[in-house]
Amino acid sequence: MARRAGCCAGCGLLVLVAGLSSLVWLSLNAFGLVSAAGATKAVTAAALGLCVIAAVGIGITLRRVAPPVGDLIRAARQVEEGDYSARVPIRGPREVRSLARAFNAMSARLEVEETRRRSVLADITHELRTPLTVIRSQAEAIADGVNPADEEHIAPIVAATHALESLADDLRTLSLSEAGALHPDREPVDVDLLVNETIEAFRAEATTAGVRLDCRLAPDLPALSADPAQLRRVLGNLIANALAHTAKGGTVRVEASPAAAGVRITVRDDGEGIPSELLPRVFERFVKGGSSTGSGLGLAIVRDLVEAHGGTVAAESTVGLGTAIQVTLPV
Which pLDDT band, with edges at 50, 70 and 90, does 330 fall under? very high
Predicted model pTM: 0.65
Residue type, 11: C
Superfamily of domain 187-330: Histidine kinase-like ATPase, C-terminal domain (3.30.565.10)
Q: What is the pLDDT of residue 315?
A: 94
Q: What is the pLDDT of residue 75?
A: 86
Q: What is the pLDDT of residue 239?
A: 94
Helix axes 151-178, 298-308, angle to 10 degrees: 40
Q: How much is the mean pLDDT over the chain?
A: 82
Q: What is the pLDDT of residue 61?
A: 58
Q: What is the pLDDT of residues 59-99, one digit of tens each?
A: 555 556 667 777 888 888 888 888 888 888 888 778 778 88
| Residue 325 β-bridge partners | 267, 315
Report the sign of the C-alpha dihedral through residues 312, 172, 279, 295, in that order. Answer: positive
Mean pLDDT of 278-289: 82
Which pLDDT band, with edges at 50, 70 and 90, does 294 fall under? low
* Cα atoms in the 13 Å half-sphere on the side-chain side of 35: 3
For residue 303, pLDDT beyond 70: yes
Q: What is the rounded distance in angstroms from the CA atom of residue 297 to the CA atom of residue 168?
A: 11
What is the side-by-side order of every strand in the sheet holding 212-217?
A: 212-217, 251-259, 262-269, 322-330, 312-318
More confident residue, 41 or 238: 238
